[in-house]
Chains A and B, each alone.
Chain A
Amino acid sequence: AQTVTQSQPEMSVQEAETVTLSCTYDTSENNYYLFWYKQPPSRQMILVIRQEAYKQQNATENRFSVNFQKAAKSFSLKISDSQLGDTAMYFCAFGSNFGNEKLTFGTGTRLTIIP
């Protein structure tokens, strides 16, 4: 079974700064999918970014980018020019190629952007 570890329960950063959230995972598979979801105080789960393991290029979405290190099984999320609206819980998730419909989530990192 896969496991996903987010070792930073809480983080805070000043507005406009850059912050990196860590995620490691354990799997014996070669092809899989990784996700970062954001959960603001509204509780809605929102997809931030998705990475396919077979792609060497790191995924980016505007101010959000990932550092995907397949050999190290690491999948960190970098938020540039952080904004107050980035305050949220962030969850890393693993999707198996053998059953990507079933996601395994980490326990989350609570990120606070300080004005």
Chain B
Amino acid sequence: DAGITQSPRYKITETGRQVTLMCHQTWSHSYMFWYRQDLGHGLRLIYYSAAADITDKGEVPDGYVVSRSKTENFPLTLESATRSQTSVYFCASTITRTDTQYFGPGTRLTVL
């Protein structure tokens, strides 16, 4: 049971480049989320999705784009990376609105 996976685990890119972080879950959970983790801020929600083709903004959506064409995948794209987007990114999923969220292993992204 693979659960929820993220790729890549580490990524270094340059300012202005497009980067896509992948998230895949094998549980058929309806809800999926993207968070970023920064020192002093805990985890902050970037975007979430309630089902395939349904997405909504979280607390810090600027500079990010998401899509969800299949239930199991929820990619996060930085269209033009900036240094302020250097962070650790977590994907999570849950089966219903009131169930516990389960997290992927995270992706450490560095923008030079």
Contact = CB atoms under 8 A, between A and B. Distances in A.
A107 B105 contact: no
B100 A50 contact: yes
A42 to B, nearest CB: 8
Contacts of A97: 98
B100 A47 contact: yes
Interface residues of A, number: 24
A95 B101 CA distance: 10
Interface string B63-93: 0000000000000000000000000101010
Interface residues of B, number: 24
Interface residues of chain B: helix, strand, loop or mixed (majority)? strand
Contacts of B101: 101, 103
A25 interface: no
A106 B42 contact: yes
A102 B100 contact: no
A29 B102 CA distance: 24
Contacts of B31: 101
Interface in B3-48: 31, 33, 40-45, 48
A64 interface: no
Contacts of A102: 33, 45, 48, 58
B101 to A, nearest CB: 6
B102 A47 contact: yes
A97 B88 CA distance: 27
Contacts of B98: 33, 95, 97, 100
Nearest to A1: B59
A45 interface: yes
A56 interface: no
8 closest A-B pairs by beta carbon, nearest first, are A45-B103, A105-B42, A105-B43, A107-B42, A100-B98, A43-B106, A101-B97, A101-B31
25 contacts: A4-B42, A33-B98, A37-B103, A42-B105, A43-B88, A43-B105, A43-B106, A44-B106, A45-B90, A47-B100, A47-B102, A93-B43, A95-B98, A97-B98, A99-B97, A100-B97, A100-B98, A101-B31, A101-B33, A101-B50, A101-B97, A102-B48, A105-B42, A106-B42, A107-B40
